[in-house]
Amino acid sequence: MAVHDRSGFPIPQPDERCPCRSGQLYAECCGPFHAGAPAPTAVQLMRSRYTAYVTGDTAYLLASWHPSTRPASLELDPHLAWRSLEIVRTELGGPLDREGLVEFAARYAADGERGVLHETSRFVRGDRWQYVDGIA
């Protein structure tokens, strides 16, 4: 992803591998969800939210956040670089489920330091899957 927006966030290109590391192209993976298609599973929403953090897509992050826990606004640091996502485990979260858990490890770099965000996120599905909260 050599192209960046004015804030310094990378812009995924349709023919590039998706930042969520699914192995698919962005246009076949997280791209459709960022364009408005509903994610069919909690893990796909988790992957698309990770990619939104990578690309600085706060509008998508807020739209995919459950209203009961959604912040009024969200500011992301373009100097924090998300490097990889590993899905550790899932519970429920399928196309017919109403709730699900996704445990993940997301690696990042910031100010010359590296770190890992390890979280178990809760998701619920009404019309579409939404992120509720997470326990780090």
The 10s digit of each residue's pLDDT in 105-135 is 999 999 889 999 999 999 999 999 999 999 9
Q: Where in the chain are the domains?
A: 26-135
pTM for the whole structure? 0.92
Taking the C-alpha atoms of residue 73 and residue 86, their distance in angstroms, rounded to an integer, is 27
Q: Tens digits of per-residue pLDDT, 88-98?
A: 999 999 999 99
- Burial code of 90-115, b = ≥16 C-beta within 10 A, e = fewer? beebeeeeeebbbbbebebeeeeeee
Provide the 3-class DSSP secondary structure of residue 131.
Answer: strand
Over range 11-40, report the average pLDDT: 93
Report which secondary-structure segment, H or E, holds 56. none
- 103 pLDDT above the threshold of 90: yes
pLDDT at 19: 94
Taking the C-alpha atoms of residue 72 and residue 43, their distance in angstroms, rounded to an integer, is 24
- CATH node for 26-135: 3.10.450.50
Residue 96's contacts (CB-CB under 8 Å, 6 or more residues apart) are: none
pLDDT at 68: 97
The model's confidence at residue 14, banded by pLDDT at 50, 70 and 90, is confident
